[in-house]
């Protein structure tokens, strides 16, 4: 079954949010080696997220990750508190978001701590659009969208996002296969 073309969603570029260059050479991530998309929350203090603009928080994340020895922002894409999609670590480079899974995955994170913070309908819609585009771009089925806790011992992406992942995958299937019949994808056991 052929996937429907998914346009790249509108997003804030690295230069628009004030990214600095990576502090070291990032390893390449071949498109053909990507087998999963891993959803995260950045688990930042929610008051800090609320008090910063999305661009400011994205820059703060980059500065934080560089301060602990990473080359760049850990995630490939972020969703801000108002639903803005922000470019992170280039998607043709290995991220720093999921340990051993980094070498075969794209990391998408939502600003904030979603053990406590409410995951809004706008954020969810933007996440669905981003995930549908990534599935199309990397030729992945929606069953390959997982939460960080599916590949590591963590609470990430927080209960308020993790509990929505089944319906998010269903929405991505509907976008990729709008004319049905939509295939059934059994989630792969981790």
Assess whether pLDDT exceeds 50 at residue 190.
no
pLDDT tens string 82-104: 999 999 999 999 999 999 999 99
Grade residue 35 by pLDDT with cuts at 50, 70 and 90.
Answer: very high
Residue with the two structure tokens 């801000």: 80
58 backbone φψ class: left, alpha, beta (φ>0; ψ -120 to 50): alpha
Tell me the pTM: 0.93
Q: What is the mean pLDDT of residues 168-177?
A: 96
Q: What is the pLDDT of residue 184?
A: 56
% pLDDT > 70, the chain: 95
Domain residue limits, the chain: 30-154+165-176
Q: What is the pLDDT of residue 2?
A: 86
What is the b/e burial string over 103-112, where b = at least 16 CB atoms within 10 angstroms of the residue's CB? eebbbbbbbb
Q: What is the mean pLDDT of residues 134-149?
A: 96
Q: What Å distances lie between residue 50 and 20, 39, 55, 149, 165, CA to CA?
A: 23, 21, 12, 25, 24
Assess whether pLDDT exceeds 50 at residue 78.
yes
In words, the CATH class of domain 30-154+165-176 is: alpha beta
CA atoms within 13 A on the CB side of 161: 32
């Amino acid at each position: 079954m052929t996937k429907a073309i998914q346009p790249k969603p509108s997003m804030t570029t690295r230069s628009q949010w004030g990214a600095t260059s990576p502090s070291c050479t990032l390893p390449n991530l071949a498109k053909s080696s990507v087998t999963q998309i891993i959803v995260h929350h950045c688990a930042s203090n929610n008051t800090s997220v609320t008090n910063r603009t999305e661009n400011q928080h994205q820059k703060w994340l980059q500065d934080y990750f560089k301060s602990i020895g990473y080359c760049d922002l850990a995630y490939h894409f972020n969703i801000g508190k108002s639903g803005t999609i922000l470019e992170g670590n280039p998607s043709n480079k290995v991220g720093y978001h999921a340990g051993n899974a980094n070498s075969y995955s794209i990391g998408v994170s939502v600003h904030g701590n979603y053990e406590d913070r409410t995951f809004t309908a706008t954020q969810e819609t933007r996440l669905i659009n981003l995930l549908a585009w990534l599935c199309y771009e990397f030729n992945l089925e929606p069953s390959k969208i997982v939460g960080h806790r599916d590949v590591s011992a963590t609470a990430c992406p927080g209960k308020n996002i993790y509990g929505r992942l089944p319906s998010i995958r269903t929405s991505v299937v509907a976008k990729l296969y709008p004319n049905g019949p939509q295939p059934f994808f059994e989630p792969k056991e981790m």
